Amino acid sequence: MSNSPTALHELGVAALARQLRERKVSALETAQHFLARAQAHAGLGAFLAIDENVTLAQARAADQALATGNSEATLLGVPMAHKDIFVTKDFVSTAGSKMLAGYRSPFDATVVAKLAAQGVVTLGKLNCDEFAMGSANENSAFGNVANPWDQSRTPGGSSGGSAAAVAAGLVPAATGTDTGGSIRQPASFCGVTGIKPTYGRASRYGMVAFASSLDQAGPLARSAEDCALLLSALCGPDLDRDSTSLDVPAEDFTRSLADSLAGLKVGVPQEFFGEGLAPDVRAAVDAALKEYEKLGATLVPISLPRTELSIPVYYIIAPAEASSNLSRFDGVKFGHRAKDYSDLTDMYKKTRAEGFGDEVKRRIMIGAYVLSHGYYDAYYLQAQKIRRMIADDFAQAFKQCDVIAGPVAPTVAWKLGDMSEDPVANYLADIFTLPASLAGLPGMSIPVGFGAGQMPVGMQLIGNYLQESKLLNVAHQFQQATDWHTKRPQGF
């Protein structure tokens, strides 16, 4: 086979899929190449599980299908790894928690199964914050992930392993989940492209539940084009297994990538450009907005007046749902069980005290509190009402524009340890990603430059419901005109 193996990790999903189809490279050598890279860069802490035998068997199967030349699968032989919040039959699934250390699921999450059905070869499972709670990947029970651009910094979270692995070229792409920003923010911190679709587009079946009314899956990759290919494969109705799955047919999200942006109205929310935004991030985002003007778009000032409220609202609703979802980890059905206990209650207490980390415990307590008799009306119900108003703000905004653009996060990736003792500081950093999550809108992050410490800066694009094609088109056109998404960290 002609391709020099060192070049394989420089290819994106689309290019790799083409080379595989044209049989310029085999699925087996591709898988071997990436497994070797994962091993060589194990120090990043991105992977939680690797099983060569499983991966190579999948790659051989892909090669057989490729040899027939008549498979319709779009991603045959393309390797990927999954955030460890997706359950998988063939790899241990931990959700970043001691509670699930060593846990093996009897089935694959729908997203995993859908990608496998398109021929994806699984390289392993990727580190994440415990039960996806966090913004720095520092809440994982299995250690930090380092940002490949500066290993003393966080890759972001909770899909930190996914973003770091893509940025370092350990995988061409990865899955992530986004409850309040966990695809967009790590994508931004690591200089990769990621998209969270409209709530309900991707099945939540087999995604370890954090906050069910917010959790949504999506891809992280090198480009909008790659994200479009992957999103087309992983979305689609799953009505029997996820009651919030949308009954809209799967779509080919690559179809409108080439559309011109002439006449596009880009809404710029004034609340996203206030005092809290670091000047380096602002400069990169402003420059990207200028680029959009060059591409024929018009910038429209808009207002999302409840942006600030999205923090207290999210940090009531998400913990409330988490406290309910995590009640299943009781030491009885699966996962960790304390060794010594006197009776059933003692077993529950010890199991949960041992199995959960600090942030998870904090959220279970907050959630139980805001749902409790006497506080439900004051906190949970109020939060639900404001959540609706936040969605209404977007509805107003989309009367004036086609997409909304702004920063993903107020700063570039911070130093590991800098905020690990300060949960509120972490929560505040979610301000720009939470509004779209609460409204259930699709959002993405694309690299638009570098800020302090030569760290990547991402721009957030938010679309109206089911407008993923538009978002990807808007992102792709930017990436056709600029080369930020092609920049790679040194040493990888």
Please say which residue, 178 or 393, places its beta carbon nearer to ligand GLN. 178
Is 469 an annotated catalytic residue?
Answer: no
Considering only the stretches 22-30, 87-95, 132-140, 334-342, report the one whose residues sit in contact with ligand GLN under the rule CB under 6 A: 132-140
Binding positions for ligand GLN, 311-330, rule CB under 6 A:
318
Amino acid at 33: H
| Residue with the CB atom nearest ligand GLN in the bound state | 182
Tell whether residue 364 is a contact of ligand GLN (CB under 6 A): no
Is 97 an annotated catalytic residue?
Answer: no
Lookup: tokens for 402: 């086609």
How far is 251 from 236, CA to CA, in rounded Å? 8
Q: Are 82 and 125 in contact, with CB atoms under 8 Å apart?
A: yes
Please state the closest distance from residue 426 (CB atom) to ligand GLN, in A: 7
Task: Find the catalytic residue in 158, 159, 188, 245.
Answer: 158
Beta strands in 315-467 (DSSP E): 403-407, 443-450, 456-463
Among 63, 84, 138, 178, binds ligand GLN (CB under 6 A): 178
The C-alpha angle 215, 485, 300, rounded to 5 degrees, equals: 70
Please state the closest distance from residue 434 (CB atom) to ligand GLN, in A: 8
Tell whether residue 175 is a contact of ligand GLN (CB under 6 A): no
Please say which residue, 84 or 225, places its beta carbon nearer to ligand GLN. 84
Tell whether residue 430 is a contact of ligand GLN (CB under 6 A): yes
Lookup: tokens for 101: 């250390």
Please state the closest distance from residue 330 (CB atom) to ligand GLN, in A: 23
Tell whether residue 182 is a contact of ligand GLN (CB under 6 A): yes
Q: Are 427 and 311 in contact, with CB atoms under 8 Å apart?
A: yes
Considering only the stretches 48-56, 174-182, 378-386, 393-401, report the one whose residues sit in contact with ligand GLN under the rule CB under 6 A: 174-182
Binding positions for ligand GLN, 452-471, rule CB under 6 A:
none
Lookup: tokens for 44: 């990043």
Q: Are 182 and 157 in contact, with CB atoms under 8 Å apart?
A: yes
How far is 206 from 175, CA to CA, in rounded Å? 13
Tell whether residue 162 is a contact of ligand GLN (CB under 6 A): no
Considering only the stretches 127-135, 291-299, 439-447, 471-479, report the one whose residues sit in contact with ligand GLN under the rule CB under 6 A: 127-135
Long-range Cβ contact pairs of 55-59 (< 8 A, separation 24 or more): 55/31, 55/79, 55/121, 55/122, 55/123, 55/124, 56/28, 56/31, 56/32, 58/31, 58/116, 58/121, 58/122, 59/26, 59/27, 59/28, 59/30, 59/31, 59/32, 59/121
Residue keyed to tokens 């679709």: 197
Please say which residue, 402 or 430, places its beta carbon nearer to ligand GLN. 430
Tell whether residue 443 is a contact of ligand GLN (CB under 6 A): no
Task: Find the catalytic residue in 93, 135, 162, 182.
Answer: 182
Please state the closest distance from residue 441 (CB atom) to ligand GLN, in A: 14
Is 83 an annotated catalytic residue?
Answer: yes
Give me the phi and psi of 202, to 5 degrees please. -105, 140
Please state the closest distance from residue 433 (CB atom) to ligand GLN, in A: 7
Considering only the stretches 26-34, 36-44, 173-181, 224-232, report the one whose residues sit in contact with ligand GLN under the rule CB under 6 A: 173-181
Tell whether residue 179 is a contact of ligand GLN (CB under 6 A): yes
Task: Find the catalytic residue in 26, 83, 162, 420.
Answer: 83
Tell whether residue 135 is a contact of ligand GLN (CB under 6 A): yes
How far is 144 from 166, CA to CA, in rounded Å? 16
DSSP string, 31-64: HHHHHHHHHHTGGG--EEE--HHHHHHHHHHHHH
Tell whether residue 133 is a contact of ligand GLN (CB under 6 A): yes
Among 158, 307, 464, 477, binds ligand GLN (CB under 6 A): 158
Tell whether residue 160 is a contact of ligand GLN (CB under 6 A): no
Please state the closest distance from residue 257 (CB atom) to ligand GLN, in A: 26
Binding positions for ligand GLN, 219-248, rule CB under 6 A:
none
Among 14, 132, 202, 264, binds ligand GLN (CB under 6 A): 132
Please state the closest distance from residue 45 (CB atom) to ligand GLN, in A: 18
Among 180, 236, 335, 357, binds ligand GLN (CB under 6 A): 180
The C-alpha angle 457, 227, 166, rounded to 5 degrees, equals: 60
How far is 26 from 44, CA to CA, in rounded Å? 27
How far is 132 from 115, CA to CA, in rounded Å? 21
Count of residues of this chain found to bind ligand GLN when the rule CB under 6 A is applied: 13
Amino acid at 364: I
Please state the closest distance from residue 430 (CB atom) to ligand GLN, in A: 5
Q: Are 483 and 161 in contact, with CB atoms under 8 Å apart?
A: no
Please state the closest distance from residue 432 (CB atom) to ligand GLN, in A: 12
Q: Are 305 and 398 in contact, with CB atoms under 8 Å apart?
A: no
Tell whether residue 181 is a contact of ligand GLN (CB under 6 A): yes
Catalytic residue numbers read 83, 158, 182
Site of interaction with ligand GLN (CB under 6 A)? 132-135, 158, 178-182, 210, 318, 430
